[in-house]
Structure 1
Amino acid sequence: MARVQRMLDACAELLDEGGYGELSTTRIAERAGVAIGSVYQFFPDKKAITQALGLRYLDLFSMRVTQRLAEEAFEHWTEAVEAIIDEYIDMHRTVPGFRSLHFGDVVDVRLLDPEADNNQVIANRLRELVVTTTEAKEGEELDRAVMVAVEASDAVLKLAFRHDPDGDPTLITEAKLLVHSYLSRHFGPR
């Protein structure tokens, strides 16, 4: 529905401008050009709107990663991992609101799913992509490896973007090296 998309777009813009603390349903309604009642028709509060935005980002990230993995021929799994990290970095730089919200940690570590923290939701989605696009076998070892890789890269990439809106290139390189080194233990060296 176009009205909901306008509200989510307005939420993203306002997050970039003032962060979650400055966000309100009234400001979202004004920016989206809708009545406040329209906001409440779909979302009970600003947390619900940011949750919907976080889920939209997760779907967009998954779609971008899936498309990139399908379009490019990777000689080694490390190149696929780098492509996934590059998609995250590009979203950080170009998708309105993503820099402020990421996948929702700023609001609630269980924003995307009340049963799992946000990084677990992302790791589950990436694990599904890895299994469907590679010869990786499902199991506890893969689950754990993807979870650790997501947590580690998330921490270093947050650090990379903390003081540099484009991401400190040295720290981005370190995040990729960290994930490559760790995953090499599970999937073999380059």
Structure 2
Amino acid sequence: MTETRPVKRQARGRQRIADILDAALALFAEHGYERTSTNAIAARAGISPGSLYQFFPNKDAIAEALATRVVEQMRAAHAAAFDLAQVTELTLDQLIDKIVDPLISFNVANPGAKVLLANTDMPADLRAATRPLHEAVVSRVAAILQARIPTLTAAEQSLTAMVAVRIVAAMMPPIVAAKGAERQALTGELKKALHGYIAPIDRSR
């Protein structure tokens, strides 16, 4: 019996962390980062504030843990969509679909993620918590550009990827908030913007 107790405690601890992160992501979607308190997160997770602080010292730490989880989930979403070997075989519009559609699907399923991706209301000194998320997305797009347009320098790849990700980040909140035909229309406009930005570079390959 004594050997199983630490395992059970560890399992409960992992579940408690998952509950806290799920609660935080939902509240970020509903109220934004700035207006969400640790007390509200604890209440949504069904625990006391003291229990929350056993796992996370503050809201910044929760945001950082969420960013790490979101990075892993977004990588999985893109990995399931396509691999880098395919990018040279696709038209630019097909490529944009392959990049954008998993991002939108993920953010619709996890609406609080848009706060982390877009930094919609996070103070400047807290944005470092979500930097790994931005870096992971930019790195993924840069790798796609490298595979598709090998003539680009590393600096050009990074700059183009960063701008493309900023375009997506700016459009993600209204896309997630919209429904039905409006969401489709906004998604189409996002893809047009990306096509207009990338097409002159893509034609050079």
- TM-score of the aligned structures, taking structure 2 as reference length: 0.72
Shift of 1:173: 0.9
Task: Note if 1:181 corresponds to 2:199.
Answer: no
Pick aligned residue for 1:76 from 90, 95, 104: 90
Which residue in the other structure is 1:171 paired with? 186
CA distance in 1, matches of 2:48, 2:71: 28
In structure 2, give the amino acid aligned to 1:103: L
Give the structure 1 partner of residue 157 of structure 2. Answer: 142
Code of the residue aligned with 2:82 in structure 1: it is L
Q: Distance in 1 between matches of 2:168 and 2:43?
A: 37
Q: Distance in 1 between matches of 2:126 and 2:73?
A: 16
Measure, in 2, the Cα distance between the counterparts of 1:66 and 1:25: 33
Offset of residue 64 of structure 1: 0.4
- 2:4 matched residue in structure 1: none
Is 1:103 the counterpart of 2:117? The answer is yes
What is the one-letter code of the residue matched to 2:29? Answer: D
Higher relative contact order (CA 8 A, sep 6+): 2
**Offset at 1:65?**
0.8
Distance 1:86 1:72 in 2: 19
Per-residue CA deviations over 1:152-181 (Å, capped at 9, x if unaligned) read 23223444446x256532222121112122
- Relative to 1, partners in 2 of residues 1:62 and 1:169: Cα closer, same or farther, differing over 3 Å? same
Could you list the runs of 5+ residues in structure 1 that have no partner in the other structure?
none
Amino acid at match of 1:38: S
Which residue of 1 is the match for residue 54 of structure 2?
41
Identity %: 26
Q: 1:114 and 1:51 mapped to 2: Cα distance?
A: 5
Q: Indicate if the aligned counterparts of 2:164 and 2:194 stay in contact, CA closer than 8 A.
A: yes
Q: Output one character per residue of 1:134-167: Cα deviation in whole Å (capped at 9) or x when no partner.
A: 35446112111111211223223444446x2565
Q: SS of the counterpart of 1:103?
A: helix
Q: Shift in Å at residue 111 of structure 1?
A: 4.9
The number of residues matched between the two structures is 186
More helix by percentage: 2
User: What SS class does the counterpart of residue 122 from structure 2 fall into?
Assistant: coil
Displacement of 1:9 after TM fit? 0.6
Q: Give 3-state SS (helix, strand or coil) of 1:56's partner.
A: helix
Query: What is the DSSP-based 3-state SS (H/G/I as helix, E as strand, rest coil) of the residue aligned with 1:34?
Result: coil
The equivalent residue for 1:90 is 105
Letter in 2 for 1:19: G
Once residues 104 and 171 of structure 1 are traced to their aligned partners in structure 2, the CA distance between those partners, rounded to angstroms, is 16
**Structure 2 stretches of 5 or more lacking a match?**
1-13
2: CA distance, partners of 1:98 / 1:175: 18
CA shift for structure 1 position 23: 1.7
Task: Flag the 1:71–1:94 CA change in 2: closer, same or farther, 3 A.
Answer: farther
| Root mean square deviation, CA, Å | 3.3
Matched residue, 2:38: 25
3-state DSSP of counterpart to 2:83? helix
| Contact residue 110 and residue 116 of structure 1 kept, 8 A | no
